[in-house]
Amino acid sequence: MRPTLFLVLCGLSACAGESVPGPLVEAAPGEPLPGLTSVELGQFSSGKALFGRPFTPEEGLGPLFNQERCVSCHDLPSSGGHGAEPVTKVTHF
């Protein structure tokens, strides 16, 4: 009985149509996706501004950072990207 049930399920899954995704929506690197609501666009703009804002040690910028702004390192292919510098992760437990 189990082999028959297995074969039936395999046959049914093979007959099931594949779902075809809609067209992909792309945006230029560092730019918001098309179709965002005004709230989402505002959140994107706030995050982008924060990403380019300078931080100081008094605000919590620690000794392991190379620059004072996130965008100083995370800039390839544009703001928010990976950057060109190698990263060494240091952890203390």
- Report, as an integer, the average pLDDT of 36-63: 91
Which amino acid, residue 24? L
Q: Are 73 and 86 in contact (CB under 8 A)?
A: no
pLDDT at position 41: 96
Residue 29 has a pLDDT of 85
* Angstrom distance (rounded) from CA 61 to CA 69: 10
Most confident of 42-51, 58-67, 77-86: 42-51
What distances in angstroms separate CA 75 from CA 33, 48, 63, 64, 71, one per listed residue? Answer: 18, 12, 21, 18, 6
pLDDT at 89: 74
- What average pLDDT does this structure show over 39-58? 93
% the chain with pLDDT above 90: 22
Three-state DSSP class for residue 68:
coil
Helix (H) / strand (E) containing 52 = helix 38-52
**pLDDT top residue among 91 and 67:** 67
Among the residue ranges 17-26, 29-38, 56-65, the one predicted with the least confidence is 17-26
60, amino acid identity: G
